[in-house]
Amino acid sequence: MSMLNKFRAGAQKAGIQASAFMKEGSSRVQSGSQAFVQGFTLPGEAEKAAKILESFLADPENPQSALNSIPKAVLQHARGLAVFQVLKAGFVFSGKAGSGLVIARLPDGSWSAPSCIATGGVGWGLQIGADITDFVVVLNSEDAVRAFSVGGNVTIGGSISAAAGPIGTGGRVEAALAHPAPMFSYSKSKGLYAGMSLEGTVLIERKDANKAFYGSAIPARDILGGRVPPPEVASRMYEVIEAAEGLDETGLPQEAYVPSGTGQHIAVDHTVFDAEHH
């Protein structure tokens, strides 16, 4: 066999081995992602959600924090909240999996019991190491809440669109709420606003975790509809939300912006969040 033919044969063999390695690696990440999600219980998710919300919402002890938080007005107008964390890791292939919960605003203004959700998947790309991103998705419409209530999957950017949510205080935030997208998405990576897009992300109802905590297969529509009392294990999460909704913004400057994909600040334009523009 000539040297050229030997080289070709070796390259073909290496290609086959590489393909097999990536296929096996992808399978491992997929199963690892599922285990990552299935390992979390509702009490753990509620505790995690409280910590995530603390990092996104203003601290009443430090009113200035409102200038770099999900606006009080956005929170007060919210019909629901989805709070979750996504772990992304990989080398050559990449895997991502996440879990969290969703709550809905009840007619009396209080919050429903939480329903567990998850997201996961595998993608290709030259990536090294791992990254954790926290997400808070503000549900601005009853249709958005209903999407999480009917069971099955919710694809963001499908029937329900999402736009990057405003941050800060003042009249421009109120203007953004005049015609909001069905969902406002907020994300943080390494503690900094990431401005990451959720387009195409699939969120799945975790019936297993709900059943394990509530004791029976209660559908999400009953949990989010107020037919299940809010559990004590989620009390810290409710306290964080209530405190942020009651923040005194008197004397704070009116500053509002949207974090871009690179984390830069883009001044808010009152048309940015119009659902017709997304």
The parent domain of residue 66 ranges over 3-277
pLDDT given for residue 79 in this prediction: 97
pLDDT given for residue 5 in this prediction: 53
Question: Are the C-beta atoms of residues 177 and 244 closer than 8 Å to each other?
Answer: no
* CA distance between the termini of the chain: 61
Q: What average pLDDT does this structure show over 164-181?
A: 87
- Tell me: pLDDT of 47 over 80: yes
Encoded tokens for 157: 């950017």
What's phi and psi for 44, nearest 5 deg? -65, -40
Question: Are the C-beta atoms of residues 42 and 209 closer than 8 Å to each other?
Answer: yes
Q: What average pLDDT does this structure show over 240-250?
A: 94
Per-residue pLDDT of 129-158, as tens digits, reads 668 899 999 999 999 999 999 877 888 887
pLDDT given for residue 130 in this prediction: 66
pTM over the 0.85 mark: no
pLDDT given for residue 176 in this prediction: 78
Per-residue pLDDT of 86-106, as tens digits, reads 887 665 555 567 899 999 999
Number of independent structural domains in the chain: 1
pLDDT band at 248 (very low <50, low <70, confident <90, very high): very high
Interior angle at CA 225, CA 221 and CA 228, nearest 5: 95
pLDDT given for residue 185 in this prediction: 93
- Tell me: pLDDT of 164 over 70: yes
